[in-house]
Amino acid sequence: MRMRVAVLVLAVSFSLTEAERCVSTSSPHCYKNSIRPEEDFICEWDERNPEKSQTHTLHIWDTEKKRFLMRKNSSKKGQVNVHLEELGIPSKKTDIWVQTQVGNLTCNSSKISVILECMVKYSVPQIISMKRSARILNLTLDKPEDNKGAIYEIRWRQRDSEWQNTTFETKDGTIKDFHRLHLHYQTIYQIQLRRQAKLKSRLCKDSLHALWSDWSQMVDVPSDIRRRPVIRWVESNPKNGTRDINLSWDAPSAEESVGGVRYNLRLSVWPCDKSKRKKSTTNQTYNTSITYSEARISIIAINKVGCSPRRQIIIPAVKHLNYCDSDMPSDITMANNKACLEWYKLEDGETRPRTVHSSNKILLKNIKNEVEHFVRHYYFLHTIRKKRYQTTVMCPFYSEQKAPKNGPANVNISDVTHESAVVSWLSIPVAEQRGFLQHYVIWISGQGNTKFHTVPANKTSFLIKDLHPGASYTVSISGRTEAGNGPNSTVNFETYSKEMGLSWQDQTILIVCVVALLCTIICSVAARRLKLLPEVPSPVIDAAEFRCPEEQDQSPTIEEVHEFVLLLRQDLNKCRENMTPEQSTLLQDFGLVIFEEEDEEDGEGGVTDLSSVKSCFYPNPSYRGQTLQLPEPFHMTDSTSRDNDTESTYRNGLFFETRVLECDKTSL
């Protein structure tokens, strides 16, 4: 008995374990990819059973006739293709489910009731192109397989922000679908789209199972590139007719570079090839080789929403030669497109014109008969060797030459001395040379003689020597080609005389002296105005009241004698009755006031006693406030005076000499 119970429990346990191992799939989704009636269906579901040894059977049940329309095993994992011939008319309502079998166990998914004709699921929409201009984004989308209009849902957002969405419809009969989206200026966006079929059948209007396609991959939308790329070029290693060119440029801004940037280059380096070489790269550098002729290189930057304006640079030709041997090498053959002859008119000697001729068949001797006479032309002969473009010959040429049309312009005489002068001029323009200029011819006429000189064609000045002082001369200059001399340009001048004028050494010394004098004056004035030197202090005089000697203390003072000052020394040879006004004024200048008494004439005459002279004055500041006092005079006899009586008086540092004559009454 116990044995039977154990076997029964084991069987039940095993059955439960097997049941747990069978997990049903998700409900199937059956659809077709277009609204065409002959389109087959696809049914898909998600497998949820981890077991590998399992089989799936799709069941389609007709709910009206109560019979199976189809039972089909899955040949692919999670998918069954249902052919229309097997299914019959799909306009009826059907129940669809998937049965899963794991070993001896089976389990069914949930059933769905649909009308298969209404089950249309378009493919994921693809963005063919995007064009952005400021705030507007124009999208170009592919059409569904049936080339019909569809209902689209688009959603967009700025990075790390919430989605915004809207729907729009497209029309039938167009090749592509278009939509315009308004965005903020200079902002990076992310967008996604999906679409749904527009069903026209009445049975599908109330259908709840209309299918949207899957969302497209999220696409970053950069800002449009508004500026031309800044391109630079460096030329290196110019040899053997080839120049190596290194190109570099700047990337657009971060907002414009989102999603990557591609650069398209167009190179015009082979004149005989009208189609330009094209190169696309994602790098910011590019190396190429060009000939000695002019080359044109253009670049545009392309991102997901458009391209930048085109930037073009011109790499000029190497400096044009003024003369060379114009014969082409004999070993060059114009064949197999490996040689190219390029030529053009060169009126000013340097500028390449817009019209440039090229050929890989014509030789130089053939084009000389076709070009304009007396006009300079230039030609290049290019070849291709080891896949590198190089210039074999470059040279100017004339079909025919003629004498120059005009003489040199702006003939000028300078640095004239008594024996020399410098004549200068402007070279004859290439358009007026009408041939290869060999040299300039100079005639110097004066003093009945004419001298002749030749100057190389690349020189524009000449030093005239061995002239006579103060003489007049005439200078004539003309250009010469192999066809002869052109018109003369004439100028007159006159040399300096030896006595007149200064030599350049003297002029230099004079100029230096004048400049030094001016600098000294300017510095002196500036020093005074800016007070750069210290001021001389003025003496300070006490403003105290000074009194006359009578009112001052008459106590004796010690006199300090420094030096003798001779105030007056003159011979009085004439008799004077009274003192002249000049003498009175002189005494007043020294602070002395003379009081004269109206006495009768003294028979003997004499010296007025200076003690009667009253002095009331302000002291001289140099005497530190001392008052001039007149002490008793002392007498000194001048040994040199023998004929006349002379009396000398010294008072407070002043020396007075008095001579007494017979007719004098008062003399100081």
The answer to whether the beta carbons of residues 377 and 343 sit under 8 Å apart is yes
d(CA 405, CA 291): 35
Closest CA to 36 of 165, 170, 200: 200
- Looking at residue 551, the DSSP 8-state letter turns out to be G
What does R_g of the chain's alpha carbons equal in angstroms? 61
- pTM listed for this prediction: 0.59
**DSSP letter assigned to residue 31:** E
Furthest CA-CA distance within the chain: 202
Looking at residue 659, its pLDDT comes to: 54
Render pLDDT for 585-595 as a digit per residue (tens, 0 to 9): 444 444 444 44
Q: Which CATH class is domain 409-494?
A: mainly beta
According to DSSP, the β-strands at 295-303 and 262-268 are antiparallel
SS3 for 509? helix
d(C-alpha 239, C-alpha 116), whole Å: 77
Contact in structure between 276 and 304 (CB atoms under 8 Å): no
Contacts 24+ apart (CB under 8 A), 37-42: 37/117, 38/84, 39/84, 40/81, 40/82, 40/83, 40/84, 41/81, 41/82, 41/84, 41/87, 41/90, 41/116, 41/119, 42/79, 42/80, 42/81, 42/82
575 to 579, 641, 660: CA distances (angstroms): 11, 19, 11
Structural tokens at position 624: 């530190």
Judged by phi (left if over 0) then psi (alpha if -120 to 50, else beta), residue 653 lies in left
SS3 content of the chain, % helix, strand, coil (to 5): 10, 35, 50
Q: Which helix (H) or strand (E) holds 243?
A: strand 242-249
Q: Tokens representing 179? A: 């939509």
Q: Tell me: pLDDT of 668 over 50.
A: no
Distances in Å between the Cα of 14 and the Cα atoms of 106, 448, 552 are 15, 144, 156
In terms of Cβ atoms closer than 10 Å to its own Cβ (0-12, 13-18, 19+), residue 434 is buried
CA separation for the pair 397, 247 (Å, rounded): 33
Looking at the predicted structure, is the pLDDT value of residue 638 above 50? no
Would you state the structure tokens that stand for residue 253, as one six-digit string? Answer: 């801004």
541-569 residue pLDDT tens = 554 444 444 444 444 545 554 444 444 44
- Amino acid 531: pLDDT: 66
pLDDT exceeds cutoff 90 at 354: no
pLDDT for residue 328: 54
CA 555, CA 627: separation in Å to the nearest integer? 12
State pLDDT tens for residues 136-172.
999 999 999 889 999 999 999 998 899 999 999 999 8
Q: Which CATH number fits domain 127-221: 2.60.40.10, 1.25.40.10, 2.40.128.20, 3.40.50.1980?
A: 2.60.40.10
pLDDT in the model for residue 232: 94
Give yes or no for residue 47 having a pLDDT over 50. yes
Q: Does domain 17-118 have CATH number 2.60.40.10?
A: yes
The four Cα atoms 548, 554, 556, 559 give a dihedral, to 10 degrees, of 0
- The average pLDDT across 72-83 equals 83
Q: Which residues contact 657 (CB under 8 A, 6 or more apart)?
A: 566, 568, 569, 638, 646, 647, 648, 649
Give the chain's mean pLDDT. 78
54-73 pLDDT, tens digit per residue, is 888 999 888 888 888 888 88
Q: pLDDT tier at 625 (50, 70, 90 boundaries)? A: very low
- Cα–Cα dist 138/155, whole Å: 14
Is 264:410 a contact under the CB 8 Å cutoff?
Answer: no
- pLDDT band at 76, cuts 50/70/90? confident
Residue 495: name the closest of 466, 475, 469 by CA. Answer: 469
* pLDDT of res. 221: 93
Please report, in angstroms and rounded to a whole number, the separation of the first and last CA atoms in the chain: 185
Question: 257-271 burial, b for 16+ CB within 10 Å, e for fewer?
Answer: ebeebebebbbbbbb
**Interval 310-328 mean pLDDT:** 83
List, in sequence order, every residue forming a beta bridge with 360; answer none if it has no partner: none
Cα distance between residue 584 and residue 570, in whole Å: 15
| Per-residue pLDDT at 493 | 93
Alpha carbons 610 and 631: distance in angstroms, whole number: 9
Q: What is the pLDDT of residues 436-471, one digit of tens each?
A: 999 999 999 998 899 999 999 999 999 999 899 989
Please give the angle made by the CA atoms of 430, 435 and 438, to the nearest 5 degrees.
Answer: 95
